[in-house]
Chain A
Protein backbone atom coordinates (compact mmCIF):
# COMPACT_ATOMS: atom_id res chain seq x y z
CA UNK A 1 0.00 0.00 0.00
CA UNK A 2 1.54 3.22 -1.04
CA UNK A 3 -0.88 5.95 -0.49
CA UNK A 4 -3.25 5.15 2.33
CA UNK A 5 -6.96 5.87 2.13
CA UNK A 6 -8.50 8.66 4.12
CA UNK A 7 -8.52 8.32 7.87
CA UNK A 8 -11.04 10.15 9.99
CA UNK A 9 -9.53 12.00 12.93
CA UNK A 10 -11.08 14.28 15.49
CA UNK A 11 -9.67 17.77 15.96
CA UNK A 12 -8.32 16.62 19.30
CA UNK A 13 -6.49 13.64 17.81
CA UNK A 14 -5.00 15.89 15.14
CA UNK A 15 -3.84 18.34 17.81
CA UNK A 16 -2.31 15.64 19.98
CA UNK A 17 -0.59 13.86 17.13
CA UNK A 18 0.79 17.16 15.86
CA UNK A 19 2.07 18.06 19.31
CA UNK A 20 3.83 14.72 19.83
CA UNK A 21 5.40 14.80 16.38
CA UNK A 22 6.68 18.34 16.85
CA UNK A 23 8.11 17.56 20.26
CA UNK A 24 10.05 14.66 18.72
CA UNK A 25 11.08 16.96 15.87
CA UNK A 26 12.45 19.64 18.19
CA UNK A 27 14.24 17.04 20.27
CA UNK A 28 15.86 15.85 17.05
CA UNK A 29 16.91 19.39 16.06
CA UNK A 30 18.24 20.02 19.57
CA UNK A 31 20.09 16.69 19.40
CA UNK A 32 21.77 17.76 16.16
CA UNK A 33 22.87 21.06 17.65
CA UNK A 34 24.06 19.29 20.78
CA UNK A 35 26.05 16.76 18.72
CA UNK A 36 27.67 19.61 16.75
CA UNK A 37 28.60 21.36 20.00
CA UNK A 38 29.89 18.14 21.52
CA UNK A 39 32.06 17.49 18.46
CA UNK A 40 33.71 20.88 18.84
CA UNK A 41 34.40 20.32 22.51
CA UNK A 42 36.43 17.20 21.85
CA UNK A 43 40.19 17.33 22.43
CA UNK A 44 42.51 17.97 19.52
CA UNK A 45 44.80 15.31 18.16
CA UNK A 46 47.49 16.84 15.95
CA UNK A 47 45.34 19.95 15.55
CA UNK A 48 42.24 18.02 14.45
CA UNK A 49 39.20 17.23 16.57
CA UNK A 50 39.68 13.71 17.83
CA UNK A 51 36.53 12.15 16.29
CA UNK A 52 37.44 13.68 12.92
CA UNK A 53 41.03 12.46 13.27
CA UNK A 54 39.77 8.94 14.05
CA UNK A 55 37.65 8.88 10.91
CA UNK A 56 40.55 10.22 8.81
CA UNK A 57 42.59 7.29 10.12
CA UNK A 58 39.73 4.92 9.34
CA UNK A 59 39.51 6.36 5.82
CA UNK A 60 43.26 5.73 5.48
CA UNK A 61 42.90 2.08 6.50
CA UNK A 62 40.11 1.61 3.97
CA UNK A 63 42.11 3.37 1.24
CA UNK A 64 45.21 1.27 1.94
CA UNK A 65 43.04 -1.84 1.84
CA UNK A 66 42.00 -0.91 -1.69
CA UNK A 67 45.40 0.47 -2.70
CA UNK A 68 46.65 -1.22 -5.80
CA UNK A 69 50.12 -0.59 -7.24
CA UNK A 70 48.85 -1.52 -10.69
CA UNK A 71 46.72 1.61 -10.76
CA UNK A 72 48.70 4.37 -12.38
CA UNK A 73 48.33 8.09 -12.36
CA UNK A 74 47.48 9.20 -15.87
CA UNK A 75 50.53 10.18 -17.95
CA UNK A 76 50.62 13.06 -20.39
CA UNK A 77 52.74 13.98 -23.40
CA UNK A 78 55.73 16.31 -22.98
CA UNK A 79 53.92 18.99 -24.96
CA UNK A 80 51.23 19.15 -22.29
CA UNK A 81 53.65 19.82 -19.43
CA UNK A 82 53.56 23.37 -18.09
CA UNK A 83 56.73 25.34 -18.94
CA UNK A 84 56.20 27.52 -15.86
CA UNK A 85 55.80 25.26 -12.85
CA UNK A 86 53.90 26.66 -9.92
CA UNK A 87 55.90 27.13 -6.71
CA UNK A 88 53.70 26.85 -3.68
CA UNK A 89 55.82 26.33 -0.59
CA UNK A 90 59.24 27.05 0.75
CA UNK A 91 59.14 25.42 4.18
CA UNK A 92 62.45 23.62 4.65
CA UNK A 93 64.19 25.71 1.98
CA UNK A 94 64.85 28.74 4.21
CA UNK A 95 68.62 28.28 4.45
CA UNK A 96 71.09 28.49 1.62
CA UNK A 97 71.73 24.98 0.51
CA UNK A 98 75.22 23.60 0.81
CA UNK A 99 74.47 21.82 -2.41
CA UNK A 100 78.12 21.23 -3.25
CA UNK A 101 78.57 18.93 -0.28
CA UNK A 102 75.02 17.59 -0.35
CA UNK A 103 74.60 13.89 0.29
CA UNK A 104 71.46 11.89 0.83
CA UNK A 105 71.42 10.40 4.33
CA UNK A 106 69.65 7.07 4.40
CA UNK A 107 69.09 5.71 7.89
CA UNK A 108 69.00 1.94 7.35
CA UNK A 109 68.77 1.31 11.07
CA UNK A 110 69.60 3.40 14.14
CA UNK A 111 73.34 4.09 13.94
CA UNK A 112 73.64 2.71 10.41
CA UNK A 113 73.43 5.60 7.97
CA UNK A 114 74.31 5.46 4.29
CA UNK A 115 75.62 8.58 2.56
CA UNK A 116 74.80 8.71 -1.12
CA UNK A 117 76.05 11.38 -3.52
CA UNK A 118 74.11 12.93 -6.37
CA UNK A 119 76.46 11.25 -8.88
CA UNK A 120 75.62 7.86 -7.43
CA UNK A 121 71.90 8.57 -7.66
CA UNK A 122 72.21 9.79 -11.24
CA UNK A 123 74.07 6.60 -12.13
CA UNK A 124 70.84 4.64 -11.57
CA UNK A 125 68.37 4.26 -14.44
CA UNK A 126 66.41 7.45 -15.03
CA UNK A 127 62.62 7.46 -15.01
CA UNK A 128 60.56 10.33 -16.35
CA UNK A 129 56.98 11.11 -15.48
CA UNK A 130 54.56 13.71 -16.80
CA UNK A 131 51.47 13.79 -14.63
CA UNK A 132 48.81 16.05 -13.19
CA UNK A 133 50.33 17.35 -9.96
CA UNK A 134 47.54 17.93 -7.43
CA UNK A 135 47.75 20.36 -4.55
CA UNK A 136 45.70 19.88 -1.41
CA UNK A 137 44.43 23.44 -1.96
CA UNK A 138 42.54 22.19 -5.00
CA UNK A 139 44.62 23.29 -7.98
CA UNK A 140 46.47 20.97 -10.31
CA UNK A 141 49.06 21.29 -13.06
CA UNK A 142 50.56 18.89 -15.59
CA UNK A 143 54.28 18.82 -14.89
CA UNK A 144 57.31 16.90 -16.12
CA UNK A 145 59.84 15.33 -13.75
CA UNK A 146 62.82 13.01 -13.98
CA UNK A 147 64.70 10.94 -11.46
CA UNK A 148 65.21 7.52 -9.98
CA UNK A 149 62.30 5.25 -9.29
CA UNK A 150 62.21 4.83 -5.51
CA UNK A 151 61.59 1.14 -6.01
CA UNK A 152 64.84 0.81 -8.05
CA UNK A 153 66.71 2.85 -5.47
CA UNK A 154 65.63 0.51 -2.65
CA UNK A 155 66.74 -2.57 -4.58
CA UNK A 156 70.06 -1.06 -5.66
CA UNK A 157 71.05 -0.09 -2.11
CA UNK A 158 69.85 -3.30 -0.49
CA UNK A 159 67.20 -1.54 1.58
CA UNK A 160 64.51 -4.19 1.12
CA UNK A 161 64.52 -5.02 4.84
CA UNK A 162 63.99 -1.37 5.74
CA UNK A 163 61.33 -0.96 3.09
CA UNK A 164 59.41 -3.81 4.68
CA UNK A 165 58.45 -1.38 7.44
CA UNK A 166 55.20 0.55 7.23
CA UNK A 167 56.48 4.07 6.66
CA UNK A 168 59.24 6.16 5.15
CA UNK A 169 60.13 9.51 6.68
CA UNK A 170 61.78 12.35 4.77
CA UNK A 171 63.34 15.49 6.25
CA UNK A 172 64.95 18.57 4.70
CA UNK A 173 68.63 19.25 5.58
CA UNK A 174 67.57 22.07 7.94
CA UNK A 175 64.96 19.80 9.63
CA UNK A 176 62.22 22.37 9.06
CA UNK A 177 60.02 20.40 6.71
CA UNK A 178 59.30 16.73 7.10
CA UNK A 179 56.82 14.19 5.81
CA UNK A 180 55.85 10.62 6.50
CA UNK A 181 54.57 8.37 3.73
CA UNK A 182 53.14 4.87 3.88
CA UNK A 183 55.43 2.34 2.20
CA UNK A 184 52.79 1.14 -0.29
CA UNK A 185 52.72 4.61 -1.81
CA UNK A 186 56.52 4.95 -1.66
CA UNK A 187 56.94 1.67 -3.57
CA UNK A 188 54.40 2.67 -6.23
CA UNK A 189 56.17 2.47 -9.62
CA UNK A 190 55.52 6.17 -10.30
CA UNK A 191 57.20 7.39 -7.11
CA UNK A 192 60.61 8.90 -7.88
CA UNK A 193 63.55 10.57 -6.17
CA UNK A 194 63.54 13.49 -8.53
CA UNK A 195 66.47 15.64 -9.73
CA UNK A 196 65.08 17.04 -12.99
CA UNK A 197 62.18 19.25 -13.98
CA UNK A 198 61.31 19.84 -17.66
CA UNK A 199 64.53 18.04 -18.59
CA UNK A 200 66.79 20.41 -16.61
CA UNK A 201 68.20 20.16 -13.08
CA UNK A 202 65.67 21.12 -10.39
CA UNK A 203 65.58 24.85 -9.61
CA UNK A 204 66.41 25.75 -6.01
CA UNK A 205 62.77 26.63 -5.23
CA UNK A 206 61.69 23.22 -6.55
CA UNK A 207 63.99 21.38 -4.18
CA UNK A 208 67.44 21.20 -5.78
CA UNK A 209 69.27 18.86 -5.66
CA UNK A 210 66.78 16.07 -4.89
CA UNK A 211 63.07 16.01 -4.08
CA UNK A 212 60.31 13.47 -3.82
CA UNK A 213 57.72 13.14 -6.59
CA UNK A 214 54.91 10.87 -5.50
CA UNK A 215 51.92 11.15 -7.87
CA UNK A 216 49.59 9.12 -5.63
CA UNK A 217 49.74 11.91 -3.01
CA UNK A 218 48.83 15.55 -2.64
CA UNK A 219 51.67 18.01 -3.21
CA UNK A 220 52.31 18.43 0.52
CA UNK A 221 54.03 15.03 0.51
CA UNK A 222 56.35 15.85 -2.42
CA UNK A 223 59.09 17.05 -0.10
CA UNK A 224 61.65 19.41 -1.64
CA UNK A 225 65.38 19.02 -0.97
CA UNK A 226 65.59 15.69 0.78
CA UNK A 227 68.20 15.58 3.53
CA UNK A 228 67.44 12.36 5.34
CA UNK A 229 65.42 9.31 4.47
CA UNK A 230 64.46 6.87 7.22
CA UNK A 231 62.13 3.94 7.76
CA UNK A 232 59.85 2.98 10.61
CA UNK A 233 56.74 1.11 11.63
CA UNK A 234 55.43 4.14 13.49
CA UNK A 235 54.26 7.21 11.64
CA UNK A 236 57.25 9.52 11.08
CA UNK A 237 56.52 13.11 12.01
CA UNK A 238 54.72 15.11 9.35
CA UNK A 239 54.62 18.88 8.98
CA UNK A 240 51.03 19.31 7.78
CA UNK A 241 49.71 16.46 9.89
CA UNK A 242 50.81 18.43 12.93
CA UNK A 243 48.86 21.35 11.50
CA UNK A 244 45.56 19.49 11.35
CA UNK A 245 45.71 17.80 7.95
CA UNK A 246 45.12 14.18 7.09
CA UNK A 247 48.23 12.01 7.46
CA UNK A 248 47.53 9.85 4.44
CA UNK A 249 46.70 12.48 1.78
CA UNK A 250 46.60 9.75 -0.86
CA UNK A 251 44.65 9.12 -4.03
Chain B
Protein backbone atom coordinates (compact mmCIF):
# COMPACT_ATOMS: atom_id res chain seq x y z
CA UNK B 1 0.00 0.00 0.00
CA UNK B 2 1.14 3.49 -0.77
CA UNK B 3 0.11 6.80 0.62
CA UNK B 4 -1.39 9.11 -1.98
CA UNK B 5 -2.88 12.54 -1.89
CA UNK B 6 -5.61 14.05 -4.06
CA UNK B 7 -3.61 16.90 -5.45
CA UNK B 8 -5.62 18.32 -8.35
CA UNK B 9 -9.43 18.40 -8.36
CA UNK B 10 -11.10 17.02 -11.50
CA UNK B 11 -12.36 20.45 -12.61
CA UNK B 12 -8.89 21.98 -12.40
CA UNK B 13 -7.44 19.18 -14.49
CA UNK B 14 -10.07 19.51 -17.21
CA UNK B 15 -9.91 23.31 -17.29
CA UNK B 16 -6.12 23.15 -17.42
CA UNK B 17 -5.98 20.72 -20.31
CA UNK B 18 -8.82 22.38 -22.24
CA UNK B 19 -6.93 25.65 -21.97
CA UNK B 20 -3.81 24.15 -23.49
CA UNK B 21 -5.06 23.62 -27.09
CA UNK B 22 -7.15 26.82 -26.96
CA UNK B 23 -4.17 28.93 -25.94
CA UNK B 24 -2.09 27.22 -28.60
CA UNK B 25 -4.61 28.16 -31.30
CA UNK B 26 -4.94 31.71 -29.93
CA UNK B 27 -1.17 32.23 -30.03
CA UNK B 28 -0.88 30.65 -33.47
CA UNK B 29 -3.70 32.73 -34.97
CA UNK B 30 -2.31 35.78 -33.18
CA UNK B 31 0.97 35.26 -35.00
CA UNK B 32 -0.86 35.10 -38.33
CA UNK B 33 -2.46 38.45 -37.45
CA UNK B 34 0.69 40.05 -36.06
CA UNK B 35 2.62 39.27 -39.25
CA UNK B 36 0.58 41.85 -41.18
CA UNK B 37 2.15 44.62 -39.09
CA UNK B 38 5.21 43.03 -37.49
CA UNK B 39 6.83 46.15 -36.11
CA UNK B 40 7.98 45.08 -32.66
CA UNK B 41 11.58 44.39 -31.77
CA UNK B 42 13.98 44.36 -28.88
CA UNK B 43 16.54 47.05 -29.45
CA UNK B 44 16.95 50.81 -29.55
CA UNK B 45 16.88 53.39 -32.34
CA UNK B 46 18.01 51.48 -35.43
CA UNK B 47 19.84 48.80 -33.44
CA UNK B 48 17.89 45.55 -33.40
CA UNK B 49 18.77 42.70 -31.06
CA UNK B 50 15.74 40.58 -31.78
CA UNK B 51 13.07 41.26 -34.38
CA UNK B 52 9.61 39.82 -33.81
CA UNK B 53 9.81 37.77 -35.86
CA UNK B 54 12.74 37.03 -38.14
CA UNK B 55 11.73 36.44 -41.75
CA UNK B 56 13.21 32.94 -41.69
CA UNK B 57 11.08 32.09 -38.67
CA UNK B 58 7.91 33.31 -40.41
CA UNK B 59 8.77 31.39 -43.55
CA UNK B 60 9.58 28.20 -41.66
CA UNK B 61 6.17 28.27 -39.96
CA UNK B 62 4.35 29.37 -43.13
CA UNK B 63 2.96 32.46 -41.44
CA UNK B 64 2.97 35.10 -44.22
CA UNK B 65 -0.25 36.22 -45.97
CA UNK B 66 -2.72 34.52 -43.68
CA UNK B 67 -4.21 37.56 -41.93
CA UNK B 68 -7.87 36.80 -42.66
CA UNK B 69 -7.50 33.18 -41.57
CA UNK B 70 -5.74 34.34 -38.39
CA UNK B 71 -8.45 36.85 -37.52
CA UNK B 72 -11.22 34.37 -38.18
CA UNK B 73 -9.62 31.75 -35.93
CA UNK B 74 -8.83 34.35 -33.27
CA UNK B 75 -12.38 35.70 -33.11
CA UNK B 76 -13.77 32.15 -32.98
CA UNK B 77 -11.52 30.68 -30.30
CA UNK B 78 -11.53 33.86 -28.19
CA UNK B 79 -14.91 32.74 -26.86
CA UNK B 80 -13.54 29.40 -25.68
CA UNK B 81 -10.49 31.06 -24.14
CA UNK B 82 -12.63 33.59 -22.27
CA UNK B 83 -15.29 31.14 -21.10
CA UNK B 84 -12.81 28.49 -19.99
CA UNK B 85 -10.75 31.09 -18.15
CA UNK B 86 -13.74 32.61 -16.39
CA UNK B 87 -15.02 29.18 -15.30
CA UNK B 88 -11.53 28.38 -14.00
CA UNK B 89 -11.37 31.64 -12.07
CA UNK B 90 -14.77 31.17 -10.43
CA UNK B 91 -13.98 27.55 -9.66
CA UNK B 92 -10.88 28.69 -7.78
CA UNK B 93 -12.94 31.18 -5.81
CA UNK B 94 -15.88 28.94 -4.93
CA UNK B 95 -13.88 25.80 -4.22
CA UNK B 96 -11.50 27.87 -2.05
CA UNK B 97 -8.74 26.34 -4.13
CA UNK B 98 -7.42 29.87 -4.62
CA UNK B 99 -6.05 29.73 -1.08
CA UNK B 100 -3.52 27.20 -2.32
CA UNK B 101 -2.61 29.26 -5.38
CA UNK B 102 -2.79 32.97 -4.61
CA UNK B 103 0.36 34.36 -3.00
CA UNK B 104 0.54 34.79 0.76
CA UNK B 105 2.32 37.68 2.41
CA UNK B 106 5.58 35.72 2.42
CA UNK B 107 5.39 34.48 -1.16
CA UNK B 108 7.42 37.26 -2.70
CA UNK B 109 10.37 36.74 -0.36
CA UNK B 110 10.14 32.97 -0.40
CA UNK B 111 9.86 32.68 -4.17
CA UNK B 112 13.45 33.98 -4.40
CA UNK B 113 14.53 31.24 -2.04
CA UNK B 114 12.73 28.70 -4.26
CA UNK B 115 14.38 30.05 -7.39
CA UNK B 116 17.82 29.92 -5.73
CA UNK B 117 17.05 26.38 -4.62
CA UNK B 118 15.97 25.32 -8.11
CA UNK B 119 19.17 26.77 -9.52
CA UNK B 120 21.12 24.67 -7.00
CA UNK B 121 22.47 27.76 -5.27
CA UNK B 122 20.59 27.29 -2.02
CA UNK B 123 19.74 24.17 -0.07
CA UNK B 124 16.35 23.53 1.46
CA UNK B 125 12.97 25.03 0.79
CA UNK B 126 10.69 27.09 2.97
CA UNK B 127 7.69 25.09 4.23
CA UNK B 128 4.86 24.98 1.73
CA UNK B 129 1.43 23.53 1.06
CA UNK B 130 0.31 22.43 -2.39
CA UNK B 131 2.55 24.90 -4.17
CA UNK B 132 5.75 26.62 -3.22
CA UNK B 133 5.98 30.39 -3.23
CA UNK B 134 7.44 30.62 -6.73
CA UNK B 135 4.63 28.44 -8.07
CA UNK B 136 2.05 30.61 -6.32
CA UNK B 137 3.55 33.70 -7.94
CA UNK B 138 3.76 32.08 -11.37
CA UNK B 139 0.31 30.46 -11.38
CA UNK B 140 -1.35 33.59 -10.05
CA UNK B 141 0.65 35.52 -12.62
CA UNK B 142 -0.81 33.55 -15.51
CA UNK B 143 -4.32 34.12 -14.19
CA UNK B 144 -3.62 37.86 -14.16
CA UNK B 145 -2.12 37.53 -17.64
CA UNK B 146 -5.27 35.75 -18.80
CA UNK B 147 -7.35 38.71 -17.69
CA UNK B 148 -4.80 41.01 -19.25
CA UNK B 149 -5.23 39.18 -22.55
CA UNK B 150 -9.00 39.60 -22.42
CA UNK B 151 -8.83 43.30 -21.58
CA UNK B 152 -6.07 44.30 -24.01
CA UNK B 153 -7.69 42.14 -26.68
CA UNK B 154 -11.08 43.78 -26.18
CA UNK B 155 -9.47 47.23 -26.33
CA UNK B 156 -7.93 46.47 -29.74
CA UNK B 157 -11.07 44.69 -30.93
CA UNK B 158 -13.58 47.45 -30.02
CA UNK B 159 -11.56 50.64 -29.56
CA UNK B 160 -14.59 52.89 -30.08
CA UNK B 161 -17.39 51.21 -28.16
CA UNK B 162 -14.88 50.34 -25.45
CA UNK B 163 -12.93 53.59 -25.83
CA UNK B 164 -12.72 53.94 -22.02
CA UNK B 165 -10.90 50.61 -21.82
CA UNK B 166 -8.60 51.59 -24.66
CA UNK B 167 -7.91 54.85 -22.84
CA UNK B 168 -7.10 53.11 -19.53
CA UNK B 169 -4.64 50.85 -21.31
CA UNK B 170 -2.81 53.83 -22.78
CA UNK B 171 -4.50 53.99 -26.19
CA UNK B 172 -4.80 51.74 -29.19
CA UNK B 173 -1.11 51.31 -29.96
CA UNK B 174 -0.19 50.61 -26.35
CA UNK B 175 -3.00 48.08 -26.01
CA UNK B 176 -1.61 46.24 -29.03
CA UNK B 177 1.90 46.29 -27.55
CA UNK B 178 0.55 45.02 -24.22
CA UNK B 179 -1.41 42.27 -25.95
CA UNK B 180 1.73 41.17 -27.76
CA UNK B 181 3.92 41.40 -24.65
CA UNK B 182 1.58 39.27 -22.58
CA UNK B 183 1.57 36.71 -25.39
CA UNK B 184 5.35 36.54 -25.20
CA UNK B 185 5.09 36.16 -21.41
CA UNK B 186 2.69 33.26 -21.96
CA UNK B 187 5.24 31.62 -24.24
CA UNK B 188 7.94 32.22 -21.65
CA UNK B 189 5.74 30.78 -18.93
CA UNK B 190 5.01 27.77 -21.11
CA UNK B 191 8.71 27.05 -21.61
CA UNK B 192 9.58 27.31 -17.91
CA UNK B 193 6.44 25.39 -16.93
CA UNK B 194 7.23 22.47 -19.22
CA UNK B 195 10.87 22.42 -18.09
CA UNK B 196 9.86 22.39 -14.44
CA UNK B 197 7.32 19.62 -15.05
CA UNK B 198 9.99 17.54 -16.75
CA UNK B 199 12.41 18.16 -13.87
CA UNK B 200 9.76 17.39 -11.24
CA UNK B 201 9.22 13.99 -12.79
CA UNK B 202 6.55 11.45 -13.53
CA UNK B 203 4.71 11.41 -10.21
CA UNK B 204 4.05 15.14 -10.44
CA UNK B 205 3.05 15.06 -14.10
CA UNK B 206 0.74 12.11 -13.55
CA UNK B 207 -1.10 14.01 -10.84
CA UNK B 208 -2.27 16.59 -13.39
CA UNK B 209 -3.99 13.73 -15.25
CA UNK B 210 -5.04 11.29 -12.54
CA UNK B 211 -5.47 13.81 -9.76
CA UNK B 212 -3.50 11.89 -7.15
CA UNK B 213 0.15 11.97 -6.28
CA UNK B 214 2.01 9.20 -4.49
CA UNK B 215 3.72 10.46 -1.36
CA UNK B 216 7.35 9.46 -1.25
CA UNK B 217 8.29 8.28 2.24
CA UNK B 218 12.04 8.37 1.75
CA UNK B 219 13.26 10.88 4.31
CA UNK B 220 16.84 10.76 3.09
CA UNK B 221 15.85 11.99 -0.30
CA UNK B 222 15.88 15.71 -0.07
CA UNK B 223 12.40 17.00 -0.56
CA UNK B 224 11.90 18.05 -4.13
CA UNK B 225 9.32 20.65 -4.96
CA UNK B 226 6.57 18.30 -5.99
CA UNK B 227 7.04 15.94 -3.07
CA UNK B 228 7.05 18.65 -0.52
CA UNK B 229 3.45 18.29 0.43
CA UNK B 230 1.89 19.22 3.69
CA UNK B 231 -1.26 17.80 5.03
CA UNK B 232 -4.22 20.05 5.26
CA UNK B 233 -6.99 18.60 7.35
CA UNK B 234 -8.77 21.83 7.87
CA UNK B 235 -10.45 23.92 5.23
CA UNK B 236 -8.81 27.04 6.53
CA UNK B 237 -5.15 27.62 5.88
CA UNK B 238 -3.13 27.82 9.02
CA UNK B 239 0.33 29.17 9.15
CA UNK B 240 1.20 27.51 12.39
CA UNK B 241 4.75 27.11 13.41
CA UNK B 242 4.14 23.43 14.03
CA UNK B 243 3.54 22.88 10.31
CA UNK B 244 5.93 20.16 9.35
CA UNK B 245 7.10 18.94 6.04
CA UNK B 246 5.75 15.62 4.93
Residues of A at the B interface (CB closer than 8 Å) are: 1-11, 14, 17-18, 21-22, 25, 28, 32, 36, 47-49, 51-53, 55-56, 59, 63, 66-68, 71-74, 132, 134-140, 215-216, 240, 243-246, 251
Contacts and interface: CB of A to CB of B under 8 A. Distances in A.
Contacts of B69: 48, 244
Interface of B: 1-6, 17, 21, 25, 33-34, 36-37, 39, 67-69, 71-73, 75-76, 79, 95-97, 99-100, 129-130, 157-161, 163, 167, 172-173, 176, 206, 209-212, 214-215, 230-233, 235
B3 A3 contact: no
Contacts of A136: 36, 67, 71
Given A9-B1, A72-B163, A137 B67 contact: yes
A49 B66 CA distance: 13
B4 A244 contact: no
Contacts of A66: 161
Contact of B17 (A28, A49, A68): A28
A135 B75 CA distance: 17
Contacts of B100: 2-3
Contacts of A47: 68
A15 to B, nearest CB: 11
B87 to A, nearest CB: 17
Contact of B6 (A7, A8, A73): A7
A4 to B, nearest CB: 4
Contacts of B163: 71-74
Given A3-B231, A134-B172, A140-B173, A215 B160 contact: yes
18 contacts: A2-B95, A3-B100, A3-B129, A8-B2, A21-B206, A25-B17, A63-B158, A68-B161, A71-B161, A73-B163, A137-B67, A138-B33, A138-B37, A138-B176, A244-B68, A251-B157, A251-B160, A251-B161
A131 to B, nearest CB: 10
Contact of B231 (A6, A63, A137, A216): A6
A241 to B, nearest CB: 10
Given A52-B75, A246-B71, 16 more contacts: A3-B100, A3-B230, A3-B232, A7-B4, A9-B2, A9-B4, A25-B209, A36-B25, A56-B76, A71-B163, A72-B160, A73-B163, A74-B163, A132-B172, A136-B71, A137-B67
